[in-house]
Structures are given as C-alpha cells and as structure tokens.
Amino acid sequence: MADSSVLSRSVVETESELFKKEYEFAVTVEFEDVDSYKIVHHTRFIAYLERARVHFLTDLGFDLHPENLSIVLFSLDVRFKKPAFLLDKLIVSVFITSLDEFRLVLGYKIMRGRDLVLRATSGIAFMDSKLKAIVPAPENYIERMRMYVI
C-alpha cells in the first residue's frame, strides 16, 4: 500500500483566521499501485480518497467513532480524467459540498501538477453502532462542518 508521509493542510491552524475550505493530502504512486498496463489501478484511487477523507476528518479534530456512532459511506461517484503513473506525485483535495442533519457529501479532486486526474464525491452518514440505523449527526459535528461547506 502506498504510504503518504507528506501531509499538507490547507485548513489554517486557528479558528480566528480565515478558513481555506480545501484539505490537501499528498500521495506518491508506488509500484504496488500500478497494474499490468503501468497505470494506477482504479481501486488504488479509491484508497487514496479514503486516506485523504480520514485525515481530513481527524486533522480537523473529529472522532471517527463519536458517541457509539460509526461514520459510514453510502455513496461514491468517481470520474476518471487522466491516468496516473509510477512515482507520480499527486495531491488529493477534499472539501464539503453539502451537509444536512443526516448526511455529509464530500467532493474530491486528484491533481498531478496542473493536470486533473480524477474528480469524485462520496456521501457519508452516521450510524448507531448498536441499532445499525442511520441517525442524525452529533450537533457539534454539524456546527463545525458548516464552516467548511463550499
């Protein structure tokens, strides 16, 4: 699995400053990420999105298992624009496109320099771990995430 040791935040450190609403996560394409055609296999892009999403949420201070809840993926739409190759340096950007009491929709783009490699969206919701049912997000999540909606 490709490891991203370089993490670049576009979100500023203090709440008193103006927030930039895109989070950036650096990824280097490794040998195990490419397929027999010598391009990044489509499943690896999904892993890059997941990794960036987890870091986006945790770096903003969100617990991934809040109050006996699980954050679950309910939708994923990926649009491939250009291939990526071994040792490419990619930037995965994550941003919130919409949010309501039950759902959060994240937008993504993967860039190689100025080239758009991929665009995607994912929908996540909160599930009660015991009831196995979708429930409203904790209010502190909703309040904080509203600051990041594009």
Residue 60: predicted pLDDT: 83
Q: Terminus-to-terminus CA distance in the chain, angstroms?
A: 31
Residue 63: predicted pLDDT: 84
Complete domains list, the chain, with CATH: 7-146 (3.10.129.10)
Q: How many residues does the chain have?
A: 150
Considering the entire predicted model, what is its pTM?
0.83
Residue by residue, pLDDT tens for the chain (150 residues) are 444 434 344 444 444 333 468 999 999 999 999 999 999 999 999 999 999 999 999 988 888 878 789 999 999 999 999 999 999 999 999 999 999 999 999 999 999 999 999 999 999 999 999 999 999 988 888 888 888 888
Residue 17: predicted pLDDT: 39
Residue 20: predicted pLDDT: 66
CA separation (Å) from 87 to 28, 93, 94, 139, 144? 6, 19, 22, 42, 36
- Phi first, then psi: give them for residue 6, nearest 5 degrees: -105, 120
The tens digit of pLDDT for each residue in 74-93 reads 999 999 999 999 999 999 99
Residue 92: predicted pLDDT: 98
Residue 10: predicted pLDDT: 43
